[in-house]
């Protein structure tokens, strides 16, 4: 099973996603800021990244995505966004994202996202 890192600045979303994935048998970690995300990337070396595009701290999910591959060059990433736009999607794909997923998502969709990224 791949190690998964969930990054979202809304603590309840991060915690519920991690809890759900752990119940599904995955090794999942959460980060509520870019600082926590970089620490988790370095410490856990996750194979799958699920990143919120909008982080409330000046560093975007796109910025995080670009730097994440320095820590985990073989990771597969999905970017979650509530403001889907073709231009943003293009930037995310160029930065290495395999999927762009519109928020909000049903928690059960996480397992499907993880399985798709595992095959990507």
Q: Residue 13's domain is classified under what CATH number?
A: 3.40.50.2300
Residues 11-20: tens digit of each pLDDT = 999 999 999 9
Domain with 51 in it: 3-119
Residues 36-95: tens digit of each pLDDT = 999 999 999 999 999 999 887 778 888 999 999 999 999 999 999 887 778 888 999 999
Residues 10, 44: Cα–Cα separation, whole Å: 21
pLDDT of residue 82: 80
pTM: predicted TM-score of the whole model, two decimal places: 0.94
pLDDT of residue 109: 93
Residue 25 φ/ψ region, left for φ over 0, alpha for ψ in the -120 to 50 degree band, beta for the rest: left
| Count of domains for the chain | 1
Count of beta carbons in the 10 Å neighbourhood of residue 113: 19
């Amino acid at each position: 099973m791949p190690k998964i890192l969930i990054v979202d600045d809304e603590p309840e979303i991060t915690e519920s996603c991690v809890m759900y994935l752990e119940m599904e048998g995955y090794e999942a970690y959460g980060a509520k800021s870019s600082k926590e995300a970089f620490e988790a990337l370095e410490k856990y070396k996750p194979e799958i990244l699920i990143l919120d595009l909008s982080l409330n701290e000046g560093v975007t999910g796109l910025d995080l995505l670009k730097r994440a591959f320095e820590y985990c060059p073989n990771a597969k990433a999905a970017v979650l966004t509530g403001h889907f736009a073709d231009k943003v999607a293009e930037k995310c794909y160029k930065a290495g994202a395999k999927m762009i997923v519109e928020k909000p998502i049903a928690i059960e969709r996480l397992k499907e996202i993880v399985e798709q990224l595992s095959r990507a």
